[in-house]
Amino acid sequence: MTIQFKKDNKRVMSILLTNREGKKMDALEVDLVKIATTTVDLNKVFSEINEYFKTLPQRVCEKIFGLYDEILEMELDELPQMRMKCIEIYECIYLDDIIEVANKLDLPHPAVKDEYNYTDTIDNGISYIKSDYQDLVHYILWLRPLIPVFAHIAILHPRSGQTKEKEEIALSVINGTEILHHPAYARLERYMGVFCENIDSKITFAQITEGQSSEDMLSKFIALNIVRRLAFFKFGKDANGEANNVISNIYNYTTNKAENLCSPVSGVGVFRRKEMKSASEDGRIRGIDSNYSATQKTPDGDRILASLDISDKRLKVLHRIEPNLDLQKVIDLFKFNVDNGAFVKEPLFVQYVLNDLVKARMIVDITNVKYQRLWLFTAAQAILAHWELYDLALMVTGHRKTLPVSIYYNNSKKLLTDDRREFLKDNWPSIKEENVAIKAVDLIASSCSHMSWELVAPKWLLDKGTMTKQDYGYLTAKTIRNQVADLFIKLHGLEVGDYK
């Protein structure tokens, strides 16, 4: 039994549930008119994911089909429920298996560099190397199962009264899924950040988009590219026999969108690319805040944290978040992280903890200057450890890894304690049966589970944590949901002990 995506007449897509002989057992229809361009050959777009669906057991196919059926019955005000269904779909779809199928298909790839050339006058955020490109190919295939969901949201959007673009709303369904944490997603954010940084105009992004900030624009470009370009990208060759290039596709599409936003028709002139700046002697390239300092103020917290050095007394800015934080411990932790090659791939809890000081987008953007990103991760790690949220602190400088195929582990299903649950209900009452705060905790905890971790942390922090070590890595803590709840409570100005 399999699931198949198939284009029918006009822009209608069918999701078919078939038996082993290929006979249709059930079908769902999705109108793609609002999401796919007329030039896309949809049957070729679906060919790779259909090959993957053929490898799935009958019970898994039936479950995925049932989840699609439920999603396609939902309205846009049920987006949280829709998101949970998407999480369930991705609990059935394993990236490693998709990669295995992709390798057998031998998809054509364009020629790209094996490694970065730091003498080039380009920013590494723009330049993709072979490993980056391979990650992106796998990410595209992993996105394909979301096409019916994207299309459904696009149809619902006009009657929803939503002010956000349909692509941004559609992309929000990946929150809580492992697909949000794939390296290709963070890499695309870097690419789009540098792209936006190097766009020049006589007016600011905010003026161009009638009140939208540059961060809003960046989010918009990412959503447009993932929902409209990556999800529907066709692997193959052009008329000259050259492999279709995803990055060229993204660049041309985004450039066109940017120019349309600032076209002569609107009376504000046309975007033009800045010349790429050569790296200075220490390899640094100016960031967004310096390029746009005249028009876009960077908050004090951003500038201070982004320019810290070990001896800098301005480290005291962290006392705005935690007045009792021992700054010497922060410095010691930073030295350890530098010496031991701590990872800086998991920004989720960093963004939450440092939210009052640093814009979430900046944590993703500052990847080019040595140690800046590590400073932010270390600061968040030290604060989490001070709050005794040791396992969250460990994950900040850790690296998530896929579990062996033979193992299924999901500690996010461990229930909240009754006192925490009641505290969340009392402080964030909801008219719906499903409490909003509890749902938020569930989503975050779920995004940290179903995986093992490679940890880089000092012995005292490892000893304080409860993540158990196995041959294939550390397992997510059994108390992950309760620790996320404690963080949620703490960040809202309440004391974790209030409910005990």
20-41 pLDDT, tens per residue? 666 777 888 887 777 776 556 7
DSSP labels, 239-256: TTSPBP-HHHHHHHHHHH
Residue carrying the six token digits 């980056």: 132
Q: Enumerate residues 6+ apart whose C-beta is below 8 A from 266.
A: none
Tell me, what's the pLDDT at 180? 80
**397-420 average pLDDT score:** 72
With a pLDDT cut of 90, the percent of the chain lying above it is 17
User: Quick check: pTM over 0.75?
Assistant: no
The answer on pLDDT for 199 being more than 90 is no
Q: Residues 494, 306, 368, CA angle at the centre, nearest 5°?
A: 125
Token pair of 313, please? 């007394």
Which two tokens mark 191? 């690419």
Mean pLDDT score across all residues of the chain: 75
Angle separating helix axes 436-447 and 480-491, nearest 10 degrees: 130
Q: Using CA atoms, how far apart are residues 427 and 418, in angstroms rounded to an integer?
A: 14
Residue with the two structure tokens 């961060």: 215
What pLDDT is recorded for position 407? 61
- From the list 480, 458, 485, 482, the residue with the least C-alpha distance to 468 is 480
Please identify which residue in the block is written with the tokens 């309205």: 75
Name the band, by pLDDT with cuts 50, 70 and 90, for residue 281: very low
Question: What secondary structure does DSSP assign to 267-309, as a single string?
Answer: TS---EEPPPPPP-TTS----HHHHTTTTSPPPHHHHHHHT--
| Range with lowest mean pLDDT among 179-193, 214-228, 266-280, 400-414 | 266-280
Q: pLDDT tens digit string along 120-151?
A: 434 456 778 788 888 899 999 999 999 999 98
Helix pair angle (42-53, 95-105), 10° resolution: 120
